[in-house]
A and B are shown apart, each in its own frame.
Chain A
Amino acid sequence: MKRVGVVVFPGSNCEYDAATAMTTLGIEVELVWHSTTDLSHFDGVILPGGFAHGDYLRPGALARFSPVMDAVQRFADAGGPVLGICNGFQVLTEAGLLPGALQKNVGLTFLCQPTTLVVTSNNSVLTAGATIGEELVIPINHFSGSYTCDDETLDRLLDNGQVVLRYKDNPNGSRDDIAGLANERGNVVGLMPHPERAMSTLLGSADGRVLLESFVAAHVAA
């Protein structure tokens, strides 16, 4: 992967964290406004954290209708690697690119803390380079991070190895401790924790690197 596009919605606030993480890994990065309708010149696309469109109605509910989302859909359909972090994950579920939904945290509090994640599947662009069972300390920073889906969806996710990251100590009530999941093909991944904020031991943890290094190592399917 040479060049990554980081989508900026009105209200995104982690686009520079994501861009800096990409630059740190030697990847060219470009911030793209949500009115963009063509992402075909990128090798990967990141939907960053924040509060797209103020999170009004529901997180991601309005962002899914931003013009860029048609381009994200086409990019994903073509096999391009797409990563949604935090609010980006919420946008991907609202857009139907990932199954299920994210609800308010069970404790009804905004959570901002390091969490320990367990890698549970390699079947995604984000976890292909990680080891199953590996524990990663990565921060969360969200109010609506409680993952939910129906029984049928959960069975399918588990059967296909689409649950890629779980919380060791579930902080928000997510179903089956799910912290991150992929689509069936593995090229679209969403997670509530922020790997782009875990790039340096000086800042608390470098455990996000193994995930983002996997992401940038992914190649665009033909």
Chain B
Amino acid sequence: MNYFVIVDVTLRPGIADPEGATIERALPALGFSGVSNVKAGKSFRMSVDAVSEEAALEKATALAERLLSNPVIEDAVARLGESVSP
């Protein structure tokens, strides 16, 4: 089977996020109020051949921990997506 997997990479709690902070500071000037805790991160999308959903997520999690994220500063979470990447 082929599964569509999304990997979200976010900074670990306590790690400085100057991009998120800068975006948050820009929001009031654009008329958006009441938005806080803005965090910047990365999202990766991929098609994974695997025998099951669990196996697809396991493979995506392994590659996310090895390559897509730096475990010193980032967390990576893999989840199944609904659509197939064009």
Contact = CB atoms under 8 A, between A and B. Distances in A.
B54 interface: no
Interface stretch (A6-14, A22-30, A98-106): A98-106
Contacts of B19: 104, 108
Contacts of A103: 15-16, 18, 73
A93 B16 CA distance: 18
Contacts of A105: 18
B70 A104 contact: no
A173 B16 CA distance: 9
A108 B22 contact: yes
A100 B15 CA distance: 12
A99 B72 CA distance: 9
B18 A104 contact: yes
Interface residues of B, number: 10
Contact of A100 (B16, B68, B72): B72
A58 B72 contact: no
Contact of A106 (B16, B68, B73): B16
A57 B16 contact: no
B35 interface: no
Interface residues of A, number: 20
A67 interface: no
Interface string A142-172: 0000101110000000000000000000000
B11 to A, nearest CB: 8
A204 interface: no
A94 interface: yes
A133 interface: no
Given A57-B67, A61-B67, A107 B72 contact: no
B73 A148 contact: yes
A167 B15 CA distance: 20
Interface string B1-35: 00000000000000110110010000000000000
A106 B67 contact: no
B70 A61 contact: yes
A101 B67 CA distance: 14
Interface in A20-73: 57-58, 61, 65
B53 to A, nearest CB: 26
Task: Pick the most buried of A101, A103, A148: most chain B CB atoms within 10 A of its CB.
Answer: A103
Given A57-B68, A101-B70, 8 more contacts: A94-B70, A101-B73, A103-B18, A103-B73, A108-B22, A146-B16, A149-B72, A173-B18
Interface of A: 57-58, 61, 65, 93-94, 99-101, 103-108, 146, 148-150, 173
20 contacts: A57-B67, A58-B70, A61-B70, A65-B67, A101-B70, A103-B15, A103-B16, A103-B73, A104-B18, A104-B19, A107-B18, A108-B18, A108-B19, A108-B22, A146-B16, A148-B16, A148-B72, A149-B72, A150-B72, A173-B16
